[in-house]
Amino acid sequence: MSALTVIIPTHRGGALLYRCLQSVLRHAPSGTEILVVDDASPQEALQSIIRDFPTILLFRLPRRRGFCYAANIGIEAAHNPIVELLNDDTEVAAGWAEAALAHFQQSDVVAVAPLILQYPKRKGDSTIPYAYIDAAGDDYDPGGYAWKRGHGLPWSDQLPLHLRVAGSVTSASACAAFYRREAIRAAGGLALSFKAYFEDVDLGLRLRQRGGEIIFEPASIVWHHGSASYGRSPYRPLLEQQSCNEERLFWRHWRYYGGWRLLPRHLAVLLGKFCRRWSEGRLLPWTFGRLRAWGELVVKP
């Protein structure tokens, strides 16, 4: 029997969710539990899923609550000691689960980050030498910014060693992340205030602060179509939410990483991002996002 439960939060997943489930059923270890947590999709959007995948467990939320809430529901409902959060716009490769699960034999490992590759855009362009990295785990600078390791780089044997071998990372992208269930529950699950974006980095930091280890495993491969599930937001609100959550991230963890001594570093980060968003013509939503986060600090009891 497998020790794994795959949790797929979805909202109007449609054809991509269908393909995701096909790949999981094709490649998952025997006995893997598969939970789909539907975030208030119209009934018709689920008809083919209910009809064609009778072995999966489906949880339907009566109203839309966001990725973090749906993921937490799945974690609570899971029956196995290891859970994987998986976006509905992903497809898994053969051996993806076995490569990740092996790391949980070490008692201090609480999460594993697969190698997430951007799904090829051209027919026939589906082999690893032609793929581009979406995320090889996440890293975080205590000054207040997080990044996807290796994002946008072509996957090849010419990459830096840390992107080609297993190793420690700050967090696993919740697009495809394995967790020890009891560890994630003890840490409080995904923060509902984030809804989506940087919620995975926040969780990774909390797990690490509790003494857990998080490992990147390049042999665990997941293909990602990219922002096709919970990313269907208008462009400006999406940028504002990202900016707000990144600022929240800093203030949630600044005391752990040095407190007031971090403020000059954080100001330097803000200045750099201000200049970048100005040059991109995206300054307004970036600014509104930061103001929202600062407003929460003012009113927080």
pLDDT at 231: 42
Average pLDDT of the residues in 186-201: 94
User: Are 218 and 239 members of one domain?
Assistant: no
**Percentage of residues of the chain with pLDDT beyond 70:** 92
pLDDT tens for each residue of 16-61: 999 999 999 999 999 999 999 999 888 777 888 888 999 999 999 9
Length of the chain equals 301
Q: Judge whether residue 202 has pLDDT over 70.
A: yes
**Percentage of residues of the chain with pLDDT beyond 90:** 80
User: Are 204 and 125 members of one domain?
Assistant: yes
pLDDT at 227: 59
Give the tokens for residue 33: 């539990």
Q: Judge whether residue 126 has pLDDT over 60.
A: no
Contacts of 9 (CB under 8 A, 6+ apart): 37, 39, 67, 70, 71, 74, 85, 87, 88, 229, 230
Domain closes at, from 181, 201, 224: 224
Q: What is the mean pLDDT of the chain?
A: 91
Domain closes at, from 204, 224, 244: 224
pLDDT at 131: 83
User: Are 108 and 73 members of one domain?
Assistant: yes
**CATH at residue 210:** 3.90.550.10
Average pLDDT of the residues in 74-102: 97
- Cα separation, 23 vs 175, in Å, equals 15
pLDDT tens for each residue of 254-286: 999 999 999 999 999 999 999 999 999 999 999
User: Are 68 and 157 members of one domain?
Assistant: yes
Give the tokens for residue 24: 């999981």
Lowest mean pLDDT among 130-144, 205-219, 233-247, 266-280: 233-247
Average pLDDT of the residues in 171-198: 96
User: Are 209 and 276 members of one domain?
Assistant: no
Is residue 214 in a domain?
yes
Domain count, the chain: 2
Is residue 289 in a domain?
yes
pLDDT tens for each residue of 131-183: 899 999 999 999 999 999 999 999 888 899 999 999 999 999 999 999 999 99
Question: On the CB side of 150, how many CA atoms lie within 13 Å of its CA?
Answer: 28
First to last CA, the chain: 48
Is residue 139 in a domain?
yes
Q: Judge whether residue 84 has pLDDT over 70.
A: yes
Is residue 110 in a domain?
yes
State the pLDDT confidence band at 12, using cuts at 50, 70 and 90. confident
pLDDT at 123: 45
- Please spell the DSSP secondary structure of the chain, one letter per residue: ---EEEEEEESS-HHHHHHHHHHHHHHSPTT-EEEEEE-S--GGGGHHHHHH-TTSEEEE-SS---HHHHHHHHHHH--SSEEEEE-TTEEEPTTHHHHHHGGGGSTTEEEEEEEEEEPPSSTT--SGGG-EEEESSEEEETTTEEEETTTTPBPSTTS-GGGTS-EE-SB--TTEEEEEHHHHHHTTSS-GGG-SSSHHHHHHHHHHHTT-EEEEEEEEEEEE--SSSTT-S-HHHHHHHHHHHHHHHHHHHTTTTTGGGGHHHHHHHHHHHHHHHHHHT-HHHHHHHHHHHHHHHHH--
Give the tokens for residue 268: 């330097």
pLDDT at 142: 95
User: Are 173 and 144 members of one domain?
Assistant: yes
Higher pLDDT residue, 76 or 48?
A: 76
Give the range of the structural domain holding residue 205, as residue numbers without chain letter: 4-224
State the pLDDT confidence band at 130, using cuts at 50, 70 and 90. low
Is residue 229 in a domain?
no
User: Are 277 and 206 members of one domain?
Assistant: no
Burial of 244 per CB tally in 10 Å (0-12, 13-18, 19+): buried
Q: What is the pTM of this model?
A: 0.92
State the pLDDT confidence band at 97, using cuts at 50, 70 and 90. very high
